[in-house]
Structure 1
Amino acid sequence: MRIGLIYDTFESYPWREEEPPDADAEYEPVETVDILAAAVEHLGHQPVRVGTATDLRERLDRGLTLDAAVNIAEGARSRNREAHAPILLEMANIPCLGSDALTLSMTLDKSWTKDLVAAADVPTPPHRVYRRPEAVEPQALPGSFPLFAKPRYEGSSKGLRPSSRVESVDALCAEVERLRSAYDQDILVEKFIEGGGEFTVAVVGHDPPEALPALQRGVEPTTGLGLHALEHRGAPTASREWDYELRGTLTPTLEERLQTLTLRLFDRLECRDFARADFRVDADGQPWFLEVNPLPTFAPDDTFAIIAELMGRDYVDYLAEVFDRGLRRLQLA
């Protein structure tokens, strides 16, 4: 089969002068695309490197034919940006691995996602959404300080820095204004969970999906922020060497609980084939859902590659297996 690869590399971001320096943080290095192509070839199929959603639209207009597609394209600016490629593929009757356009748009919205998973009995910190600092009412905060502020429609830790953790109303108003000015969108503010560490759980497959081993993330000792939030591409703190520690203990009981919650929200949000969910654990050992990414990176140094290494698997071989499961769901294998 001819399997299209839809992706954004760092070089393809359509920069505008006024955009923040981490605007392309969700995009991928070329090495990720090479891994995707190698996994497709491992299955005996022909990878077709299409590129961005814009590239896809233009090539479809010129008669591009595909039997299926693997999409990891993030798009740009619009809160529906992650849906651009899946919609084009759907309109062209090209089956696509991964979650559909509705799930991708909805899960990019951190507020709506939290409301949906909370309704499915997945604990998530209480939150409020602010458009501007004038909307912050001291008597109606989502919880006691410390609180945490982040853009409502972004991923890959965009916008996060030490000041994202706030300890007062004045600091909160200043952070809402900083993020609103930089990202021109609503700001989600939630209770900052501390005490028991930070973890991520990936899911692959379908009917039933499989929760992979949980990975523990390092946190910066002073702020308690996850190290990835300080080191992401384009962050003003990325060039600094940060100390970190692994807070809490990943016991078998905690790992099972994290996997159960991840599978529950994977089902509730109608994710497909692959996704990754992030949690923080409080001092009492209670996990709290933070966000989910149905377009996780397959970079050769990130979550899925680390899990493959822990399982003693060749990464290309393991990723090919993940894609094969998706093709079977689509009844193409």
Structure 2
Amino acid sequence: MNDVSATPHFTPRPRVAVVFGGRSSEHAISCVTAGSVLAAIDRSKYDVLPIGIGTDGRWMLVGDDPTRLAIRGDELPTVTDVAESTAALVLAADPTSREITMLEPGVLPKLLGEIDVVFPLLHGPYGEDGTFQGFLELAQVPYVGSGVFASAASMDKEYMKAVFAGFGLPSGPYTTVRPRDWERDPAAVRAAVSALGFPVFVKPARAGSSMGITKVHRIEDLDAALEEARRHDPKVIVEGMLTGREIECGVLEFEDGPRASLPAEVRVGGDHEFYDFAAKYLPDNGTELDVPAALSPEQTAEVQRLAVAAFEALSCEGLARVDFFLLENGQFVINEVNTMPGFTPVSMFPSMWQATGVDYAELVDRLIQAALRRPNQLLR
């Protein structure tokens, strides 16, 4: 048992619960992100309580050792690897108390003290999609990042694109495949996808980290790609191919409103057809990141303008990474918005802000301070 983490909270320093892991297919990436944030939090300024959520949804007290959450070769970390106990942690959805309690069969409940703010480093469903944010709203616990609506809409690529269309923001062609569509009339689904032209990208509608994505070059391979996506999400989105450079831009909320970072470019190499999971996270992947991107001043200003516009259209808060394609005709098209982007020091979001003048430790501190200042959603 980590004695420091388990001691009731008596100091005036804000207590930050760093929550990571979760039930989604992005569990391991969330753990990697948490290791970096735990290493960067100023312990003279904050008390820290690391909480891991297992793949079964159980909350557990984990060791405060960031090195155990790193990728080792091809081996990805999990919450089980670093859990100090199988006892469940509980935060009640009770706005009158922010107490964390440890529950273990046959043992009296153990109070671990109150928390002041949550830093949710959860990626994917049951964490980044508004569900966890809704729970924190019920408990009236401040938290880092976007609220319920922005988290849910950004996670669901169909509705994210609908918001962009409503605000006149550029996005690419797509079709949505709901479970009943595929089960009742697969021929109509194949026809709708064919109308986009090949190749297409078949994606789970509500997943991230390139999980379950397939680049499909011909209609004969569509069925298998749809089934692969449906392993991660019963709703699937199929996007038409956009040819161009992959540009990303970070948005961070300051006291006077959101600002955009210098943009960066992803150049995928090796044997990767697109920016898939291995190209993003595994070593020696052949991917090159240009931070900042080689863009003209006019192009930089335009992508920054669109990044902030997308952030505001979705009612995002705190932080977001906005991904673009820069087409051959010079037009920027928004691909997606990620409300809890990869957050290791070498991830794109922190790297872009490092190039813009905000280093990693300052970025973490700024996000925590913003969450502490901000009331819960319906009180804003």
Tell me if 1:4 matches 2:21. no
Change over 3 Å in CA distance of 1:24–1:99 after alignment to 2: same
Match for residue 170 of structure 1? 220
Q: Does the 8 A contact of 1:39 with 1:317 survive in 2?
A: no
Match for residue 48 of structure 2? 47
Change over 3 Å in CA distance of 1:24–1:66 after alignment to 2: closer
- CA–CA distance in structure 1, aligned partners of residues 192 and 145 of structure 2: 42
- CA–CA distance in structure 2, aligned partners of residues 23 and 33 of structure 1: 15
- CA–CA distance in structure 2, aligned partners of residues 45 and 149 of structure 1: 43
1:184-333 aligned within 5 A: 184-194=233-243, 196-206=244-254, 207-220=256-269, 225-226=274-275, 228-232=276-280, 241-242=285-286, 249-311=294-356, 314-330=359-375
What TM-score do the two structures reach when normalised by structure 2?
A: 0.70
Counterpart of 2:20, as a letter, is D
- CA–CA distance in structure 2, aligned partners of residues 225 and 5 of structure 1: 35
- CA–CA distance in structure 2, aligned partners of residues 199 and 185 of structure 1: 29
Q: What CA deviation, in whole Å up to 9, does each residue of 1:194-246 have, x standing for no partner?
A: 1x3001111111441011111111134887523x544245xxxx577447698
1:158, distance to aligned residue in structure 2 (A): 0.7
Q: What CA deviation, in whole Å up to 9, does each residue of 1:24-78 have, x standing for no partner?
A: 354222x634534643536x232222333742893324264222222222365x6
1:91, distance to aligned residue in structure 2 (A): 1.8
1:271, distance to aligned residue in structure 2 (A): 0.6
Tell me if 1:60 matches 2:107. no
Higher strand share: 2
Change over 3 Å in CA distance of 1:40–1:135 after alignment to 2: farther
1:306, distance to aligned residue in structure 2 (A): 1.4
Greater CA drift, 283-292 or 307-316: 307-316
Q: Does the 8 A contact of 2:265 with 2:289 survive in 1?
A: no
Match for residue 162 of structure 2? 115
- CA–CA distance in structure 2, aligned partners of residues 285 and 324 of structure 1: 38
Same amino acid, percent of matched pairs = 24
Gaps of 5+ in 1: 16-21
SS in 2 for 1:310: helix
- CA–CA distance in structure 1, aligned partners of residues 321 and 195 of structure 2: 25
Change over 3 Å in CA distance of 1:177–1:322 after alignment to 2: closer
SS in 2 for 1:136: helix
What TM-score do the two structures reach when normalised by structure 1?
A: 0.79
Gaps of 5+ in 2: 1-12, 61-87, 93-100, 102-110
Cα RMSD after superposing both structures: 3.2
1:122-141 aligned within 5 A: 122-130=169-177, 131=179, 132=182, 133-138=186-191, 141=194
The one of 157, 170, 183 equivalent to 2:210 is: 157
How many residue pairs get matched? 307
1:143, distance to aligned residue in structure 2 (A): 2.3
Match for residue 67 of structure 2? none
